[in-house]
Structure 1
Amino acid sequence: MRRTERYKVHHKANSLWQMYSTVSFFKIVKNFIVIQVARYTPFLRMKNWLYRHLLRMKVGERTSFALMAMPDSMFPEKIKVGDNSIIGYNTTILAHEYLITEYRLGEVHIGNEVMIGANSTILPGVHIGDGAIVSAATLVHKDVPAGAFAGGNPMRIIYTKEEMESRQSPDGHEGRNS
Structure 2
Amino acid sequence: MRKTERYKVEDANSLWRIYKTVSFFKVMKNFIVIQIARYTPFLSVKNWLYRTFLRMKVGKQTSFALMVMPDIMFPERIKIGTNSIIGYNTTLLAHEYLIEEYRIGDVIIGDNVLIGANTTILPGVTIGDNAIVSAASLVNKSVPAGAFVGGNPIKIIYTKEEMEQRKAGTTE
Shorter-chain TM-score: what band? over 0.9
Match of 2:129? 130
**1:4 and 2:23 equivalent?**
no
Q: After TM superposition, list the pairs within 5 Å mapping 1:34-113 onto structure 2.
A: 34-113=33-112
| Distance (Å, rounded) in 1 between the aligned partners of 2:148 and 2:167 | 14
Match of 2:147? 148
> What root-mean-square deviation, in Å, do the aligned CA atoms of Structure 1 and Structure 2 show?
0.9
Structure 1 gap segments, 5+ residues each = none
CA apart distance, 1:163: 0.5
Match of 1:26? 25
Task: Give the secondary-structure state (helix, strand or coil) at the position aligned to 1:166.
Answer: helix
Q: CA offsets per residue over residues 103-137 of structure 1, 9 Å max, x none? A: 00000000000000000000000000000000000
Task: Give the secondary-structure state (helix, strand or coil) at the position aligned to 1:104.
Answer: strand
- Runs (4 or more) in structure 1 with deviation over 2 Å come to none
Structure 2 gap segments, 5+ residues each = none
| Distance (Å, rounded) in 1 between the aligned partners of 2:153 and 2:78 | 22
Residue identity (%): 75
| Distance (Å, rounded) in 2 between the aligned partners of 1:111 and 1:59 | 10
TM-score when scaled to structure 2?
0.98
| Distance (Å, rounded) in 1 between the aligned partners of 2:64 and 2:155 | 24
CA apart distance, 1:167: 1.1
| Distance (Å, rounded) in 2 between the aligned partners of 1:32 and 1:143 | 27
CA apart distance, 1:151: 0.2
Task: Give the secondary-structure state (helix, strand or coil) at the position aligned to 1:52.
Answer: helix
| Distance (Å, rounded) in 1 between the aligned partners of 2:76 and 2:88 | 21
| Distance (Å, rounded) in 1 between the aligned partners of 2:118 and 2:104 | 22
Number of residues paired by the alignment? 171
Q: CA offsets per residue over residues 68-116 of structure 1, 9 Å max, x none? A: 0000000000000000000000000000000000000000000000000
| Distance (Å, rounded) in 1 between the aligned partners of 2:105 and 2:59 | 20
TM-score when scaled to structure 1?
0.94
Amino acid at match of 2:7: Y
| Distance (Å, rounded) in 1 between the aligned partners of 2:76 and 2:142 | 19
